[in-house]
Chains A and B, each alone.
Chain A
Amino acid sequence: MFKLKKQFLAGPYIVWIIGFILLPIVLILFYGLSDYHGNFTFDNLLSIFDPIHMKSLLFSLRLALICTVICLILAYPLAMILNSMHLKHQSFVVFVFVLPMWMNFMLRILAWKLLLSNNGVINNILASLGLPAIQLLNTPSAVVFGMVYDYLPFMILPIYNAMSRIGHDIIDAARDLGANQVQVFFKITMPLTISGVLSGIIMVFVPALTSFVISNLLGGGKVLLIGNVIEQEFMQTMDWNLGSGLSIVLMIFVIASMAFMNTHNKDGEGTAVW
């Protein structure tokens, strides 16, 4: 009897899930699979094969992939360094990476825009060293740079979490049994942090694939990602059916990458990021 009562505490949240998580997804499916008059159609989904849409989707995939790889390369050694510091309070690490979010992310990206601009600090430093100025802004590289900046914490924290859970005795045991540092890394650290790496990849890849603000800010309107296309369909062209159809395609990619994570993540512990 009492057990039953306790589960009822989730009641408001179950109502919330149905009303505000599942129902909106049903609606996006409804809009995406119908035309302006409400007739069933696959046209909105198939419009992804329109050359302009296809180009921006492939371009988004490419940038998101590059961004994810860079984040992983930067984050993994960083997590190892942080872990080797044996901080007493691991919450401090979370603190350091969450604190910047208290300054609006668009302002922070705009600050980078100042630094990267043609007469900005970075080109001034290059000039004082006698080096030629480089065009940094309004290029795909600038967009990737902004994405790496914004999403790097989401790669670091899950990897660091997974790493800090590895018991020192396991590593000590391996060393006692004659494993060298390289062997310890490949036989212990890497396999035990794979769940953190996978959640990090998802937490970076999905927002990078679907972002539209960073490309607006740093791409100067020249970088058209699939997120920008969808935003324009909703806010400018006002073709909600087409926009929903493209959103469904985007959702398919998100679900596919989540499924990929779940099949490769056997212990299922990596999903908790914080």
Chain B
Amino acid sequence: MVKKIGSRIYLSIIFLFLYLPILVLIVLSFNNSKTRVKWGGFTLKWYASLLENETIIEAFVMTLQITLTASILATIIGTLAAIGIHAMKSKGKAIMLGATNIPLLNADIVTGISMMLLFVRFTELGFSTVLIAHLTFDIPYVILNVLPKLNQTSKYAYEAALDLGATPLYAFYKIVWPDIRPGVFSGFLMAVTMSLDDFSITYFTKGAGVNTLSTMIYTELRKGIKPEMYALSTILFGIALILLLVMNYRSSKKAIN
């Protein structure tokens, strides 16, 4: 009993540690005061003025464009790559997995700098260079989420389907796809999360005109963060919370059925 209470308390402290800053940001988004340290009463005005703040909206749209394009492309390339790697012999597999680990384990700053050195040699820094950089660190997350699911699928069912006259594409869609779909989906979600939260790699590979929310926050640090920024983050966090809760609810319903 004492042990149980103790572990509950420990759990609460860690969750407080993780979620306290989020709570602070949410409270700040409703704070009717220009200074961050004082509570000036409840207001929704930052949410209203958010739409009129062009720099924030512009950075937000840019962030969405980069995040979604990179995540979708990374999911396609990564899933295909995972199927290919899965079919490889152990030596090829090891080499591919080793290369996949490089962007995951290498320091962000080194990845960002090395890509910048490549880009400035051949092209100008801009939207497409940020996109390529994001794809590079997104693809490994997709591969690492899809590969374990592929390992669980039975290759005999797939071969049986082929023997019974299914085309490879049809057999894939009917047999392999249902098994790997959760992995593909969680890989996509990880890619979105990582792209959305990335600062270092974007910072080094972006051109002058390109600003994501992260890089904008960094450049505005000295001037002070605009309250509209808190409003936008609160909305984003709310959407993520609802989205993930719905997904969890659906998957738990499925598990019961």
Interface of A toward B, CB cutoff 8 Å: 2-3, 5-14, 16-17, 20-25, 27-28, 31, 74, 77-78, 81-82, 84, 88-89, 91-92, 95-112, 114-115, 117, 119-120, 149, 152-153, 202-203, 206-207, 209-213, 216-217, 227, 230-231, 234, 240, 243-244, 247, 250-251, 254, 258, 271-274
Contacts and interface: CB of A to CB of B under 8 A. Distances in A.
A251 B107 contact: yes
Given A10-B96, A112-B21, 10 more contacts: A9-B80, A10-B80, A16-B139, A20-B136, A102-B237, A104-B196, A115-B20, A117-B37, A210-B107, A254-B106
B14 A247 contact: no
Contact of B109 (A10, A31, A210): A210
Contacts of A258: 101, 105
Interface of B: 7, 10-11, 14-15, 17-22, 24-25, 28, 36-37, 77-78, 80-81, 83-85, 87-88, 92, 96, 99-103, 105-111, 113-118, 121, 132-133, 135-136, 139, 141, 143-145, 148, 162, 168, 186, 190, 193-194, 196-197, 199-200, 204, 213-214, 217-218, 221, 225, 229-230, 233, 236-237, 240-241, 244, 248, 251-252, 255
A227 B109 contact: yes
A102 B168 contact: no
21 contacts: A6-B83, A21-B136, A24-B111, A27-B114, A77-B10, A88-B255, A89-B255, A98-B190, A102-B193, A106-B214, A111-B24, A115-B20, A120-B37, A206-B106, A212-B200, A213-B200, A250-B107, A254-B105, A254-B110, A271-B101, A274-B145
B36 A21 contact: no
B107 A114 contact: no
B109 to A, nearest CB: 5
Contacts of B252: 88-89
